[in-house]
Amino acid sequence: MTISKATTGVLSLGLAATLALAGCTTRDDDPDPGTGGEGAADDITIAFVPKLQGIPYFEAMNTGGMAAAEELGFEWLYQGPTTADAAAQADIVRSFIQQEVDVLFVAPNDPDSMAPLLQEAQDAGIHVATTDTDAPNSVREVFISQASVEGIGQQLTDSLMEAMGGEGEYAIVSCGETAANLNAWIEVQEAYTASEYPDAEIVDIVYAGEDQARATQMATDLMLANPDLTGLVGECTSSAPGVAQAVEDADRVGEVFTVGLGTPQSMLPYLETGSSSASVLWDVEALGYLTGWAGVQLENEVEFEATNAVNEDLTAVEYDDSTGVLLLGPPTVFTAENAGDYDY
C-alpha cells in the first residue's frame, strides 16, 4: 500500500499572515466526490502541525497530505517547529488559529499543554484533530492513528526477541518524554515482554528528544553501563538509526541487536549491515493522505463509517466511534529485502 512516490518539494511556511501566502495550495475545479467522501473540498483549508519539521518521517506525511490535496481539491498548509519544542509548536498552532483555517491537525509534542490550544481553536469554530500522536484528554474530534498501540508495541518486541533468541537484557531509547504514542507503545512492550518473554528484561528507558546524535550517544552509554545488554530499541524515527549507529561504532554487530521505528530509507544501510534487525513502521505517506482525507470529512460534517473506503489503496480504514480513532492499519516490518521499495 503506497501512495505516489514522486519527489515532492517540502513546504515551509512562515508564521502569522505569511502562512496564508506561502501555503501549499492545490485546488481542483472539478473534484471527484467519489474519491474523498461527500461534498466538494475546494473551499477547505486544512493545516497540519507536526512535532518537528525537516525530518524524513514528517516530510513523508506532508507528501501524503499534498497528494490528498491535489486529488481532492483542498488547501493544505504544513508547518512545524525546527526542534521538538512544545512552546514553539504552540506558537505555530496559535498562528493557524489566527488565520481561521477550517481544520487543524496537530501531532503534539506535549499533549497536555496542547489541550487548551485545541480548545481555543474549537471555540474559534475550527475543527480540531490529532494525527500520528494523540492528545486524548483534549477536545480533538478524531485521532488519525498509524497502527494500533498493541500492534506496534508487540511487533517491536517480537522483532527484537527474534533477533535476541527470546532472552536477555535490552533497553529503550525513546524520544520525547511526554509523547503519548511513544509512552503507550513502551507500556505495551513492558507488559508484553513480561508475559511472553520471561527470560528477557527491559533494564532502562532513556529519552533523546528527536535528536539522532543524542540517541547514538545514549545507546553507547547504555552498552557501557550494562555489559550484559544484548538489545536496543529506537522508539522513534530518529532514535532507530541512532541506536543502530551506536552498535556499528562499538563494533558490536551480531552481539547487540537493534530494532526501531525508522523510515525505510534511513534504516536501509543499517538493515543491510545487520546493525538493525528490523524496522517497524507503516506507510507514512498513506498516513498523511488519510489525515487530509479525514479533514475533508470533518469540514463537510460527514460521519466516519465503521469501515471507510478512502481511495483505491486505503479500502478498509477502520473507525472506532467509542474512542474517536481512525486507524490506518497494521504495522509494516521493513527489512533489507523490502526497505528499498520506499523512497522516504
pLDDT tens-digit readout, 36-94: 444 467 799 999 999 999 999 999 999 999 999 999 999 999 999 999 899 999 999 99
Contact partners, residue 202, CB within 8 Å, separation at least 6: 169, 170, 171, 172, 189, 190, 193
pLDDT digits (tens, 9 = 90+) for 147-197: 999 999 999 999 999 999 999 999 999 999 999 999 999 999 999 999 999
> Which residue, 281, 303, 329, sits at the end of a domain?
281
Count how many domains the chain has. Answer: 2
Residue in this structure with the C-alpha cell 526501531, named with its chain if needed: 260
Does residue 11 belong to any structural domain of this protein?
no
Any alpha helices (H) in the chain, and if so which ranges?
17-22, 56-72, 86-99, 111-123, 149-164, 180-196, 212-225, 239-249, 264-273, 284-299
pLDDT for the residue 39: 47
Does residue 336 belong to any structural domain of this protein?
yes
- Integer-rounded Cα Rg, in Å, for the chain is 20
Are 209 and 135 contained in the same domain?
A: no
Classified as helix, coil or strand, 128 is strand
- Among 181, 177, 259, CA closest to 219: 259
Residue in this structure with the C-alpha cell 517540502, named with its chain if needed: 10
> Which residue, 258, 281, 304, sits at the end of a domain?
281
pLDDT band at 19 (very low <50, low <70, confident <90, very high): very low
Are 273 and 289 contained in the same domain?
A: no
pLDDT digits (tens, 9 = 90+) for 202-219: 999 999 998 999 999 999
pLDDT for the residue 42: 78
Report the CATH number at residue 176: 3.40.50.2300
pLDDT surpassing 70 at residue 32: no
Does residue 264 belong to any structural domain of this protein?
yes
Does residue 134 belong to any structural domain of this protein?
yes
pLDDT surpassing 50 at residue 226: yes
pLDDT digits (tens, 9 = 90+) for 237-296: 999 999 999 999 999 999 999 999 999 999 999 999 999 999 999 999 999 999 999 999
> Which residue, 231, 255, 281, sits at the end of a domain?
281
Domain that holds residue 115: 17-147+283-341
Are 276 and 293 contained in the same domain?
A: no
pLDDT surpassing 50 at residue 23: no
* 18 vs 298, more confident: 298
pLDDT for the residue 41: 75
What DSSP letter does each residue of 29-48 carry, written as one string? SS--TTTSSSS--TT-EEEE
